[in-house]
Amino acid sequence: MLRVCEQTAEFYRSHYGRQHFPHLVAHVSGGPLVAMVLAGTDAIERWRTLMGPARVEEAQAYWPDTLRARYGRRTEFGDYFNGLHGSENYAEAVREIHFFFPNMLVGPVPRLWQIRDYIQKNLRASLAPALTQLAHEKPAEPMLWLADRLRRHNPNEPEFAPQPAEMAEEMKCYTPNPSQASNLN
């Protein structure tokens, strides 16, 4: 999914005013991203542990097996191109989930009638035909076949406005020239 500068700035509004904010917005809005929701006992804490520290240098030095240590990168603009984001607390997680998935149910485990209602409204239209086709075709790898079929026929796929061949200069996000304080040499 692609985000424009304004959306990225809104998402990272808690960083506004910090030295790295313009670089962060330009970097995150500069290419595709994958948004996902993890659910489970202590999901926020467990994900943050798996990611490691936000600063790549610290992650590489002290927690080399974390995701940020392995996939983050240091640049001339700073040490925050860590490749991953994770909510800091439950309230932030709810805000961020609704930012990317506005219709998602968030909260305690829903009651059975809520689950049935959600399935009826959001899943049945794509899942029932896929399961019917799966039963008829009987592929060798049914889980992979079903996952691919649902991905190709996802009615909830985000739609993006068509982009002109060349974006107007004033619409592009730019990383400003780094200050001396943000240079890591």
Q: Sketch the domain layout of the chain as residue ranges.
A: 5-107+164-182, 109-154
Q: What is the dihedral of CA 161, 162, 168, 173, to 10 degrees?
A: 50
**Which tokens belong to 108?**
């305690």
Could you confirm whether 85 is annotated as catalytic? Answer: yes
Residue 31 has pLDDT above 80, yes or no: no
User: For domain 5-107+164-182, is the CATH number 3.50.50.60?
Assistant: no
- For residue 162, the model assigns a pLDDT of 60
Buried b (16+ CB within 10 A) or exposed e, 44-70: beebbeebbbbbbebbbeeeeebbbbe
- For residue 185, the model assigns a pLDDT of 45
Q: What is the pLDDT of the chain when averaged over all its residues? A: 82
Of these residues, 15, 20, 23, 85, which one is catalytic? 85
In the chain, the percentage of residues whose pLDDT exceeds 90 is 32
What's the average model confidence in pLDDT over 34-59? 91
- For residue 133, the model assigns a pLDDT of 94
Report pLDDT digits (tens) over 76-101. 766 667 788 899 999 999 998 998 88
What's the average model confidence in pLDDT over 67-78? 82
- For residue 176, the model assigns a pLDDT of 60
Residue 133: closest CA among 148, 155, 115 = 148
- Write down the pTM of the prediction: 0.55
pLDDT bucket at 65, cuts 50 / 70 / 90: very high
What's the average model confidence in pLDDT over 111-124? 88
